[in-house]
Structure 1
Amino acid sequence: MKCSDESVADIFEKARKFPSDSVKAKGITQKIVEFIALDDQPFSVVEDVGFRRLIEHIEPRYVMLSRRHFSDVCLPELFNVVATHVHEHIAAEISAISFTTDIWSSDVSLTSMLSLTAQWIDADFQLQKILLHSQEFRGSHTAAAISDAFANMFDTWHIDRSKVHVIVSDNARNMANAIEDSQLKGIRCMAHTLHLVVSDGVLSQRSVKDVLAIGRRIVGHFKHSQLAYSRLQSMHGQFGTQIKRFQQDVSTRLNSTYYMLQSLFAQKRVLAAYSADHELPVTFTSHQWVLIENILSLLAPFEQLTKEISSSDASVADVIPLIAALKRLLTKVFEMDHGVKTMKSTLLESVSTRFTEIYSDPLHFNATVLDPRYKDHYLDAEIKQRAREMIQTAMDAENLRGDGEGAAHSTGEGDQSAGKKTRLFAPDEGHAPSLSDMLSEILQESASNNNRQMTSSTTQQLDGYLSEVPIPRSDNPLVYWKNNHGRFPDLGKMARKYLSAPCTSTDSERLFSAAAHVLDEKR
């Protein structure tokens, strides 16, 4: 008989449960509460049989704590650790902080929540983001109530109002009034405004509304009938095509109209075969299928634009150039305009009307100038001059503070883009122009009329920066400023402020996409 190398004492030690205050037990408890917090798990998970068996298998000596202990003790402790870390970040030398906010209401409980996310550019020109605050918002959603909630949030995190650069929100009147009542700078979410533009275009043409109404009925038919969907799957098998889910358009979801029509058009052949053998509540005519294709072509730039501005690194500097490109694209005539000309003209008019304020808002045009991908090439002469004067005034004011960093530096070294020539855009034959093509076209036209003389006055910094060719649009503007703020120190400071502002409230909305997983029947 083979003897075990383990002593009886070792065996008993392995069977003995950890004391609750042991380092090992505390470490496991900490990881469990992090798992709950990071993955939006309900506290009830620690009572689930499967989870308990998992922990028992991994470490039999660990004693699972109660659900209430995790909610009342462990989570507050974790919150305090994170809050301390956040306070340390905010207390650092930050010249400007930008915010997003949104109000969300639960579908499964009478609960509303108000969010506040913060972002800024640190001294190393890295974009920092924090989910700063999310609180239950009871009572009427009046401007006064929202303003009071903002004050509470800023007081909680000891945020000096002078550091608040901008708050980005949706287009709701109560939210805009609340920001104004709080004497803070607010801008509307670009994605929400684009959504309103598309709604204007859709409502302007009866034939388009009819197509959407038919599409909703077809999608609804397959969503509410498992038999119909099973038959459709069989049709896909016969055609050897991939099974795709139809997308239902939702009034509050950006681009959902585009995705619904796209999902229908992608299954055009399958739907035609289905309607030959089975009954559908409605069907598209051949003319309407052509109209759908043209609508998709018209809305494609809006879908591309919404995706681009909803990315994590999009900033308010993108707004003016992208709107300029979109307006130019909508003025061009294409073969695919047949049947949607009224919609197209309405979209152009709506874009021009709903985005009028961006050209009179210093936050937008100063940010555009301070983005090395754009500079002042997307501004008209009057706004160019106004932006130069405002930026120059700010630089002079900074110099008067005596920080010694405003002296003009040589612009002959340090920037690999200096001296490069703009590559002319020449579209391939048959190539459908895109937003990128329009951006290149505008940049080319502006560059040909952009001759500046270097001076030895305090304008040398600004003139030196603007005289250089913009960096490629695919490059990161913050990397540029990290490498070049030594040459343009005052402009670098302003870039940290202006480029911190996002152009959408996407961060707050993403938070509530997660919140929908938290507030359900198990919570």
Structure 2
Amino acid sequence: MTRNHLLKIYEMCKSKVAESLSNATFCAITTNLCKSRSTQSFLSVTAHYINTENFTSKSCVLETVHLTTNHTGENIALELQRVTKEWNTHDKVAFAVTDSASNMNVAIRMTKWNHLPCLAHTLNLIVQGAIASDVNLSGLQTQCRTIVAYFHRCVKASDRLVNIQKQLNIPQNKLIQEVETRWNSTFYMFQKYIEQHNAIITTLCLLDRKDLCLNNTVA
């Protein structure tokens, strides 16, 4: 598939989305900053609206912008205004949903849109704050994170864990590393650790890494 072919497909899809958006009376905007593995920064802008022809909800990514400037509220606001004006949605935005980062708060304030904080992000802050307030639980979180990181980076340990799982007749599931911005990943990390506790302890002892072990009362 050639570049020209891809560009034609893009323009065709863009026209369809623009036509659908043009019939919407209002829309909501969600936007988020993320980084690629090569640490490049991107700003994603998505429109959510009701299709007036069949009254179904639609969500369309309008653009994912490569940000080469500082992530200030002003720079983010400029990009949001540029994207929404290109798609003729700037004056249709009923509200914008973002995380609670200060630069996002500034950006939406500058656009003069109504602002709603992301529920998932707010929930994550609540859960992580609750964990941090409990010394024992936060210590357990740190220890589990260290253990999972060890098995993820050490092929020998990972392979040995699989063998021990087979010997103990434990499900051969991989350990899950938490993602700081996703509280449920912390839950899944704990859940998988509990499931694999015996296999993990056995493997660490065989590899002479007892320093990483959690004792049975904690686990």
Tell me the TM-score normalised to structure 1 length: 0.40
Q: Which string of whole-angstrom CA distances, capped at 9 and with x for unpartnered residues, describes residues 274-299 of structure 1?
A: 3554423322223212xxxxxxxxxx
- Could you tell me which amino acid in structure 2 is paired with residue 214 of structure 1? Q
**1:338-374 deviations in whole A, cap 9, x for unaligned?**
xxxxxxxxxxxxxxxxxxxxxxxxxxxxxxxxxxxxx
Tell whether 2:115 aligns with 1:196. no
The Cα offsets for residues 440-498 of structure 1, whole Å up to 9 and x where unpaired, read as: xxxxxxxxxxxxxxxxxxxxxxxxxxxxxxxxxxxxxxxxxxxxxxxxxxxxxxxxxxx
| 1:209-232 CA-partner distances (Å, limit 9, x unpaired) | 221222122222222222222222
Amino acid at match of 1:193: T
CA contact (8 A) 2:28 2:94 kept: yes
Aligned with 2:17 (options 63, 72, 86):
86
Q: For residue 107 of structure 1, what is the aligned residue in structure 2?
A: 37
The amino acid across from 2:7 in the alignment is: P
Q: Which residue of 2 aligns with 1:139?
A: 69
Kept after mapping to 1: 8 A contact 2:151/2:158: yes
Q: Which residue of 2 aligns with 1:154?
A: 84
Partner of 1:227: 156
Runs of 4 or more off by more than 3 Å in structure 1?
272-278
Q: In 1, Cα distance between the equivalents of 2:63 and 2:207? A: 53
Query: For 1:260, which of 189, 199, 202 is the aligned residue?
Result: 189
Structure 2 counterpart of 1:189, one-letter code: C
Alignment match, 1:210: 139
Which amino acid in structure 1 is aligned with residue 19 of structure 2? E
Three-state SS of the structure 2 residue aligned to 1:255 is: helix
SS of aligned partner of 2:82: helix
Q: Which residue of 1 aligns with 2:199?
A: 270
Asked if 1 retains the 8 angstrom alpha-carbon contact of 2:81 and 2:90, the reply is: no
How many aligned positions are there?
217
The residue identity in structure 2 corresponding to 1:154 is T
- CA distance 1:274–1:98, change in 2 (3 Å): same
* C-alpha displacement of 1:74: 2.4
* Cα distance in 1 for residues equivalent to 2:205 and 2:44: 51
Larger Rg: 1
Deviations 1:87-137 (A, max 9, x none): 211221x2211111112222315x322211111122332111211122222
| Residue equivalent to 2:170 | 241
SS in 2 for 1:288: coil
Q: Secondary structure at the match of 1:286?
A: coil
Alpha carbons of structure 1 residues 273 and 136: separation in structure 2 relative to 1, 3 Å: closer
Aligned to 1:389: none
Distance 1:228 1:156, change over 3 A: same
Distance change (3 Å), C-alpha of 1:274 and 1:165: same
Of structures 1 and 2, the one scoring higher in RCO (CA 8 A, sep 6+) is 1
Which amino acid counterpart does residue 86 of structure 1 have in structure 2? V
Relative to 1, partners in 2 of residues 1:143 and 1:217: Cα closer, same or farther, differing over 3 Å? closer
Secondary structure, in 3 states, of the residue corresponding to 2:131? helix
Deviations 1:308-348 (A, max 9, x none): xxxxxxxxxxxxxxxxxxxxxxxxxxxxxxxxxxxxxxxxx
Q: Secondary structure at the match of 1:267?
A: helix
Q: 2:218 aligns with which of 264, 288, 294?
A: 288
Give the gaps of 5 or more residues in structure 2. Answer: none
Structure 1: how far apart are the matches of 2:131 and 2:43? 31
CA offset digits 1:396-421 (Å, max 9, x no partner): xxxxxxxxxxxxxxxxxxxxxxxxxx
Worse overlay, 169-178 or 131-140 = 131-140
* CA-based RMSD: 1.8
Amino acid at match of 2:94: H
Equivalent-residue separation in structure 2 for 1:218 and 1:272 (angstroms): 10
Letter aligned with residue 229 of structure 1: S
Can you list the C-alpha shifts for 1:165-193, whole angstroms capped at 9, x where unaligned?
11111111111111111110111111111
Equivalent residue of 1:245, what SS?
Answer: coil
* 1:242-265 residue CA offsets vs partner (Å, 9 max, x unmatched): 211111123233422111111110
CA distance in 2, matches of 1:262, 1:274: 18
Match of 1:182 in 2: 111
Q: Against the structure 1 CA distance between its residues 217 and 166, is the aligned structure 2 distance closer, same or farther, given a 3 Å change threshold?
A: same
Separation in 1 of the partners of 2:29 and 2:146? 40
Which runs of 5 or more residues in structure 1 are unaligned?
Answer: 1-31, 33-69, 290-523
Tell me if structure 1 keeps the 8 A contact 2:170–2:196: no
Any idea what SS the aligned residue of 2:55 has? coil
